[in-house]
């Protein structure tokens, strides 16, 4: 029950408080309820601060990282396996220690975050672009196109995204000549992760589009000869932005985990451009020999990133759509 009625303007009780949202509702919500629920949720506030800090670290990595771990000139193998918070053989201080090649773990994490976030964000945008377009097309046209698109989405949703991404990755690897593989790896990864996550967007957008399409203003616009694309972009899209935002946020967390998993499996980004997953893959080799920091710090960073983005997505879902709670 969100609104109270003033005396006199009696409204029948049966009228649902969750009436269909008029356009522009999201903007209204941003003004009031969202901010309200944000300030009421300490977990969300902490999650958003952590996410923001990690993003800033990634963006400004070249400026704030203590070392450039990918400049061979600055590497000193003698610095290898320096424990955290200590000074190495060559007199350099490493807050989080170094790996086997003497690279500063803190700096590799900052650069790794950069790769992880870059791939995750672009893959999510890619999935969003495909999902929204196909969802709008399916929902607006209906018929065979709708059936085909949604059937594909259904089948794809029943398989784990990681499997689809692996397959796409494998196929791409077979099609791209070996000499170009290293340079293309990041883009292949983005496409593979994006293609494995579009279906959720398509499903949601299609549902909302079908609802909107029934409404009078859409019929009116259609009769007046407004181009379908204009109708979709002007009228339908704003109405689905709420759910899309929620899926995109949770999808970003999934994409980051997916990228990390692929890189951990050794089929992700090339070793010259390590992401958090690659760092964990490297660190795992030293688990038994006692150099725990090479694994632990990248792992914590990845968990913090995935968890904080996930928490934000969860909160966003509750705040935008109390019905789901």
Partner 1 sequence: MLAFILRRLAQSVIVMLVVALIAFMVFRYVGDPIASMVGVDTRLEDQEIMRDRLGLNDPFYVQFGRFIGNAVRGEFGISYRLQQPVSQLILERLPATIELAFASALIALVFGVGLGVFTALKRGSWLSGFIMSASLVGVSLPTFLIGIGLIYIFAVELQWLPSFGRGQTVDLGFWRTGLLTESGLRSLILPAITLSLFQLTLIMRLVRAEMLEVMRTEYIRFARARGLSQRAIHFGHALKNTLVPVITITGLQLGSVIAFAIVTETVFQWPGVGSLFINSVQVVDVPVMAAYLMFIALVFVVINLLVDILYYVVDPRLRVDAAGGAK
Partner 2 sequence: MAEPVLSVKNLTVQFPTRRGVLTAVDDISFDIMAGEVLGVVGESGAGKSMTGAAVIGLIEPPGRISGGEIRLKGERIDNIAPDAMRAIRGRRIGMIFQDPLTSLNPLYRISQQIIETIRTHLHVGEAEARKRAIKLLDDVGIPDAARRIDDYPHQFSGGMRQRVVIALALCAEPDLVIADEPTTALDVSVQAQIIDVMKELCRERNAAIMLVTHDMGVIAETADRVAVMYAGRLAEIGPVRDVIKNAFHPYTQGLMGSIPSLTTDLDRLLQIPGSMPRLSAIPKGCPFNPRCPKVFDRCRIERPDADPVAPDRRVACWLYPEVTPA
Binding site residues, partner 1, CB under 8 A: 155, 158-160, 162-163, 166-167, 169-171, 173-175, 253, 257, 260-261, 264-267, 277, 280, 284, 287-288, 292, 295, 299, 302-303, 306-307, 310-311, 314
To the nearest whole angstrom, how small is the minimum distance from the Cβ of residue 278 to partner 1? 12
CB burial class (10 A; 0-12, 13-18, 19+) of residue 19?
A: exposed
In this complex, which beta carbon is closest to partner 2, that of residue 6 or of residue 158? 6
Closest-CA residue to 281 (of 290, 267, 289)? 267
To the nearest whole angstrom, how small is the minimum distance from the Cβ of residue 164 to partner 1? 9
End-to-end alpha carbon distance in the chain: 14
What are the residues facing 87 on neighbouring strands? 93
Residue window 2-41: x/- pattern of binding to partner 2, with contact defined by CB under 8 A: --xxxxx-xxxxx---------------------------
In this complex, which beta carbon is closest to partner 2, that of residue 178 or of residue 325? 325
In this complex, which beta carbon is closest to partner 1, that of residue 184 or of residue 299? 299
DSSP state of 14: T
In this complex, which beta carbon is closest to partner 2, that of residue 5 or of residue 158? 5
Sign of the Cα torsion 193, 199, 202, 208 reads negative
Selection from partner 2, partner 1, none that 282 binds (CB < 5 to 8 A by kind) is none
Let me know the angle formed at the C-alpha of 109 by 105 and 112, rounded to the nearest 5 degrees: 135
To the nearest whole angstrom, how small is the minimum distance from the Cβ of residue 301 to partner 1? 11
CB burial class (10 A; 0-12, 13-18, 19+) of residue 283?
A: buried
Give, as ranges, the residues between 144 and 173 that touch partner 2 (CB under 8 A): none
CB burial class (10 A; 0-12, 13-18, 19+) of residue 173?
A: middle
DSSP result, 47-66: HHHHHHHHHHHHHTHHHH-S
Tokens of 287: 């688990």
Selection from partner 1, partner 2, none that 306 binds (CB < 5 to 8 A by kind) is partner 1
Give, as ranges, the residues between 243 and 272 that touch partner 2 (CB under 8 A): none
In this complex, which beta carbon is closest to partner 2, that of residue 8 or of residue 290? 8
Selection from partner 2, partner 1, none that 71 binds (CB < 5 to 8 A by kind) is none
Rounded Cα distance between 216 and 221, Å, is 9
Characterize 150-163 residue by residue with b for buried, 16 or more Cβ atoms within 10 angstroms of its Cβ, and e for exposed: beebeebeeeebbe
To the nearest whole angstrom, how small is the minimum distance from the Cβ of residue 38 to partner 2? 17
To the nearest whole angstrom, how small is the minimum distance from the Cβ of residue 111 to partner 1? 19
Q: What is the size of the binding site for partner 2 (CB under 8 A)?
A: 11
Tokens of 200: 């959720």
In this complex, which beta carbon is closest to partner 1, that of residue 106 or of residue 302? 302
In this complex, which beta carbon is closest to partner 1, that of residue 239 or of residue 263? 263
In this complex, which beta carbon is closest to partner 1, that of residue 127 or of residue 302? 302
Selection from partner 1, partner 2, none that 34 binds (CB < 5 to 8 A by kind) is none
Selection from partner 2, partner 1, none that 4 binds (CB < 5 to 8 A by kind) is partner 2
DSSP result, 217-281: HHHHHHHTT--HHHHIIIIIHHHHHHHHHHHHHHHHHHHHHHHHHHHHTT-SS-TTS--HHHHHH
Note whether 161 and 195 are within 8 A (CB): no
Where do contacts with partner 2 occur on this chain (CB under 8 A)? 1, 4-8, 10-14
């Amino acid at each position: 029950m969100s609104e109270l009625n003033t005396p006199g303007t009696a409204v029948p009780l049966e009228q649902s408080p969750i009436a269909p949202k008029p356009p522009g509702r999201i903007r209204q919500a941003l003004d009031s309820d969202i901010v309200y629920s944000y300030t009421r949720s300490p977990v969300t506030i902490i999650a958003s601060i952590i996410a923001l800090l990690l993003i800033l670290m990634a963006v400004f990595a070249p400026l704030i990282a203590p070392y450039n771990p990918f400049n061979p000139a600055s590497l000193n193998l003698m610095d290898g396996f320096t424990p955290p918070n200590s000074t190495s053989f060559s007199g350099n201080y490493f807050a989080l220690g170094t790996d086997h090649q003497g690279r500063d773990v803190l700096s590799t994490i900052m650069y790794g975050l950069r790769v992880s976030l870059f791939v995750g964000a672009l893959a999510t945008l890619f999935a969003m672009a495909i999902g929204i377009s196909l969802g709008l097309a399916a929902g607006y046209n209906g018929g065979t196109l709708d059936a085909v698109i949604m059937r594909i989405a259904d089948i794809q949703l029943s398989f784990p995204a990681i499997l689809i991404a692996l397959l796409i990755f494998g196929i791409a690897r077979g099609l791209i000549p070996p000499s170009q593989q290293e340079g293309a790896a990041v883009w292949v990864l983005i496409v593979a992760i994006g293609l494995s996550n579009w279906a959720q967007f398509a499903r949601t957008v299609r549902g909302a589009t079908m609802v909107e399409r029934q409404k009078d203003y859409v019929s009116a616009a259609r009769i007046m000869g407004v181009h379908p694309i204009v109708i979709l972009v002007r009228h339908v899209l704003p109405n689905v932005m709420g759910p899309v935002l929620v899926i995109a946020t949770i999808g970003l967390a999934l994409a980051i985990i997916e990228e990390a998993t692929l890189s951990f499996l050794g089929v992700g980004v090339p070793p010259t451009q390590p992401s958090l997953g690659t760092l964990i893959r490297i660190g795992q080799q030293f688990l038994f020999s006692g150099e725990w920091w090479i694994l632990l710090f990248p792992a914590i960073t990845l968990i913090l990133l995935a968890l904080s983005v996930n928490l934000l997505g969860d909160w966003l879902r509750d705040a935008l759509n109390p019905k789901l709670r």
